[in-house]
Amino acid sequence: MQVYLDHAATTPLRTEARDAWLEASGTVGNASSIHGGGQTARRLLEESRERIAAVLHCDPIELVLTSGGTESINLALKGLWWARAARDAVVLPDGEHHATLDTVEWLRVHEGARIVGVGLDASGRIDPGAFEEALRSPGVAFGTALMAGNESGTINDSTELAAAAAGAAVPLHLDAVAAFGHVPVRFSSLRADAAPASGLVALSVSAHKVGGPVGVGALVVSRTAAVTALLHGGGQQRSLRAGTQDVAGAAAFAVAAELAENEREAEAQRLAALRDELVRGIRAAVPEAELLGDPVHRLAGNAHILFPGAAGESLLFLLDRAGIAVSTGSACQAGVPEPSHVVLAMGRAQADARSVLRFTLGRTSQPSDVDAVVAAIPEAYARASGRS
């Protein structure tokens, strides 16, 4: 049986979410249609929106349903940029997800955006003071930041980051895709009520990271934020995201979001204990192995581990052959593994940034998964580092 330790890439679809999707997809009617079938679809859609909004602590009207985290981030960043046309800079911390990096790069190339970078500390955290200083530099249209690192697992201090943006009177987007389901993601407690057009104004989440379907996500956009739409058409969703709405996807997302939130605290405890066991077992088998990221303020299921002298891709391949699915942070460019930009941002050398594996546990993870890794890692490491 496959040992699946890549829950941060995607976590298995929950049966309850699949059932909700199947049931909703059996009803006919466009949620924008006036007839009875359309109204039934509309009721289910709006009820699902309310349920997701309740989990995220935002108003239902603020929840824009999208095709996933990548679209949400594109809408937030391009939308905030176009709405603040007189500004010419974007605050971009190092180590962001590629959905953010590539969108900001697009803004740089096509819109002339200036990038104001913010470094990470050795544990992969954004320093709120440095973030605020960057936000206060002239001409900043918006700032963006990860709530928690999808690769390092390090949890940023979102309260401080949001306060920094409010203090600098700059709108902030938070990428909560990796954090959602693992730490509290509460829009209303992070937004700045005193100056609602700045501070936290937008937050991205994705259904398939919490056991919902792939291809469904949401962007919370505060009512007072100025965001220009990417998609134009039928005027749906405050004209922020036109197009016939995915009622079945929303219904499934609502079920998955509620279940993830209800079990969040208990799962965090269970997974942190399993994760600690995994790290202990790996370090006992491979003493050179080193846990990266914050040892305490990290996502419960995340173990981001440096294996000195071993190529991450080789380790991944060898573990895969042993029936264990994990991931590396490094992308492949034309078949050549690139160093992880996150590990580099943590101040590590190029060689280290090619020698990291990310193990991410989730709700289907069991002690037997940990045992399987601990049994397979000595040989995989010996072979990947050329010691056997």
Contacting residues toward ligand PLP, per CB under 6 A: 68-70, 73, 97, 99, 146, 150, 175, 177-178, 206, 217
* 170 within 8 A of 198, measured Cβ to Cβ: yes
Query: CA-to-CA distance for 372 and 370, rounded, in angstroms?
Result: 5
* 202 within 8 A of 58, measured Cβ to Cβ: no
Query: CA-to-CA distance for 157 and 237, rounded, in angstroms?
Result: 30
Query: What are the distances in angstroms from CA 266 to CA 57, 181, 254, 289?
Result: 20, 11, 20, 29
Catalytic annotation on 58? no
Q: How far is the CB of 29 from ligand PLP (least distance, A)?
A: 27
Which ranges in 294-357 belong to alpha helices (H)?
Answer: 312-321, 341-345
User: Catalytic one among 122, 226, 273, 332?
Assistant: 332
* 110-141 burial: b if 16+ Cβ within 10 Å, else e: eeebeebebebeebbbbbbebbbebbeeeebb
Nearer to ligand PLP, 84 or 209 (CB): 209
Nearer to ligand PLP, 69 or 249 (CB): 69
Nearer to ligand PLP, 332 or 349 (CB): 332
Q: How far is the CB of 280 from ligand PLP (least distance, A)?
A: 26
In degrees rounded to 5, what are phi and psi of residue 351? -65, -40
Q: How far is the CB of 152 from ligand PLP (least distance, A)?
A: 11
Nearer to ligand PLP, 286 or 344 (CB): 344
In degrees rounded to 5, what are phi and psi of residue 145? -160, 150
Query: CA-to-CA distance for 34 and 17, rounded, in angstroms?
Result: 27
Nearer to ligand PLP, 200 or 376 (CB): 200
Query: CA-to-CA distance for 145 and 345, rounded, in angstroms?
Result: 14
Q: How far is the CB of 210 from ligand PLP (least distance, A)?
A: 11
Q: How far is the CB of 71 from ligand PLP (least distance, A)?
A: 7
Return the sign of the alpha-carbon dihedral for residues 305, 306, 309, 315. positive
Nearer to ligand PLP, 215 or 308 (CB): 215
Nearest to 282 by CA among 269, 273, 291: 291
Q: How far is the CB of 255 from ligand PLP (least distance, A)?
A: 17
Residues with catalytic roles: 332
